Chain A
Amino acid sequence: MKVYHQTGFRDKWNIESFLSSVGNGLIFSPINIDADKLLALDAKLKQTGFLDPQLYLLNEAKGTLDTYPFFPGNLKPDFTTPDLDNSHIELAKLCVDYQMKNDFEYLIIPTRYYADNPTSYFAQNTDYFVTPFCDYVKENKIQKKILLSIIVKIIMLTDEEKRNEVLNWITGHQNIEGVYLIFENNFSSKQIKDFDYLFNALKFIKILKDNQMEVHLGYSNTEALLYSIAMPDSVTVGSYENLRSFGIKRFQDSEKSPMRSPNARLYSTKLLQWVDYEYIQAMKKLMPDYADYFDDSEFRPLMFKPEFKWHFAKPEPYKHYFYVFDRQMKSLPTTQAGRIDELKGSIKNALTLFKKIENEVLLDDDSDGSHLPTWFNVINAFQKELIK
């Protein structure tokens, strides 16, 4: 299973980590990197990665998105959905050509985002994106693998009819190697604790794998570990929270509304949790063995120095996460049964460690491992599903 870097703001950290052999490739983000700058990047950074075209909102010129030749506003200033009727072929050509010029590992078919998908959503996606894209690839005898990008809304996971509709749509296309799958995340907690959501996400991935599709999971957070038991082809690591959880706000130009900076957090492979660094300060004062709960990396000595000024915008906690999480994913057994056993064992260990911590430190719901009992139940339910 591969681990891609979901890049965004401060993609420099991902690139530096990737060049230090952390992760298998980079997923590039047009809103964060100028089109010409991306073209000029070293080929070795691109040959193992791909581009997320980010046409989610069609004509919203967030960040550097309008520097891309396939940005609809560059075809027509006030580009709207009806304009796709006349421009979809040109748009597909520009999108494929740009991706080919960069020589990425995969070609990605864009997708749209709606707060509530219209009834014609799948038909529109087929007509405006999938068909012209695949036709152009075929006409030009392009050999690269094609991934279909799709945002999976919560209702597509929890409602059986909607789930079947989207799965039928995905698996109904010829010439598609797989999917770049993005689970929309509207949860207020930092970890997903919803049994139905997680269980259905696993079933969703499994069905795609049963249909011999490559499944690449974008915007994943720690639940990538859980998703690994459905045997996806890749998961992602990302720095800021909006790269580990998909929300459309990141692509809206109105994002300038005042935002509260999150507290810095440190990921622990032993706890399967990001822990607010202020709790690490409390652990340091109250637990002589506090450091044992956290992983080693080249960044740890600096972070654990008393003079280290923790801040969510500092690179070390993220680079540490990229490194330890990549190793954690790569150390998982290759068999599904092996992964299930290993993950259950890791969850039990983490819960034991949390009990020890909570003898001294009263953690809040975003640091206390309270997602882990749900994970355990989800794994058990998924195991039963596998026997069916």
Chain B
Amino acid sequence: MFKTEQQMSLMFEKFLKANFGNAYLKECQGLFGVPDFVFYDKQKQAVSIISFELKLKNWKKAAKQAFRYKSFSNISYVVLCSKSANVALNNIALFEKYNIGLAKFDTDSDFEILYKPELSTPYSDNLNQKLVQTISSSRKKSKNIETLVR
């Protein structure tokens, strides 16, 4: 069990780097909510954005936050520790209904996707463009993005 969300965040960051590359922003401000991680994948002109909200408890609050991130992201995930993920799994219909990803992440860096969402268009062109501009000059590389998308 993670002791704090900060501990969970630090381990998740290591996991993200190792498995998906270093193309991410941490606690990005000025959007609609503050996602723990915004992961991006640049392919020629197209940029795909995946946001992650990490929580130790309160899956519903996390789902509401993750929905906000769909304003500027193509995919938005709630990442919970095992115990909370089991509760959220009982409410998987909500994640399906709003096309929000659900995953669990543990202290041994075991990451399991419980619901894989479809790629969708961000709701706010302004916010999406703002974020795309922020990362436009980045040369950071992403990998394995396909594993996060249905």
Inter-subunit contact B71/A278 (CB<8 Å): yes
Inter-subunit contact A281/B98 (CB<8 Å): no
How many angstroms from the CA of A284 to the CA of B124 in the assembled complex?
Answer: 10
B interface majority secondary structure = helix
Inter-subunit contact B68/A278 (CB<8 Å): yes
Closest-by-CB residue of A relative to B64 is: A364
Q: Within 8 Å CB of A306, what residues of B?
A: 125
Q: B126 at interface (Cβ–Cβ under 8 A)?
A: yes
Q: B59 at interface (Cβ–Cβ under 8 A)?
A: no
Q: A231 at interface (Cβ–Cβ under 8 A)?
A: no
Inter-subunit contact B121/A285 (CB<8 Å): yes
Inter-subunit contact B63/A362 (CB<8 Å): yes
Q: B123 at interface (Cβ–Cβ under 8 A)?
A: yes
Inter-subunit contact A285/B64 (CB<8 Å): no
The interface bits of chain B over 78-118 (1 if a CB of A lies within 8 angstroms of the residue's CB, else 0) are: 00000000000000001001101000000000000000000
Inter-subunit contact B71/A282 (CB<8 Å): yes
Which chain A residues numbered 357 to 378 have a C-beta less than 8 Å away from chain B? 359, 361-365
Inter-subunit contact B64/A281 (CB<8 Å): no
Inter-subunit contact A278/B123 (CB<8 Å): yes
Inter-subunit contact A361/B124 (CB<8 Å): no
Q: How large is the interface on B (under 10, 10 to 19, 20 to 34, 35 or more residues)?
A: 10 to 19
Q: B55 at interface (Cβ–Cβ under 8 A)?
A: no
Which chain A residues numbered 260 to 292 have a C-beta less than 8 Å away from chain B? 263, 276, 278, 281-282, 284-286
Q: Within 8 Å CB of A282, what residues of B?
A: 67, 70-71, 123-124
Which chain A residues numbered 306 to 338 have a C-beta less than 8 Å away from chain B? 306, 309
**In the complex, which of the residues B32, B98, B124 contacts A362, with contact meaning CB atoms closer than 8 Å?**
B98
Contact flag A278-B127 (CB < 8 Å), given A263-B32, A285-B121, A362-B98 = yes
Given contacts A276-B32, A281-B123, A365-B64, 8 further A-B contacts (CB under 8 A): A263-B32, A278-B32, A278-B68, A278-B123, A278-B127, A286-B123, A362-B63, A362-B64
Interface residues of A (CB under 8 A from B): 263, 276, 278, 281-282, 284-286, 306, 309, 359, 361-365
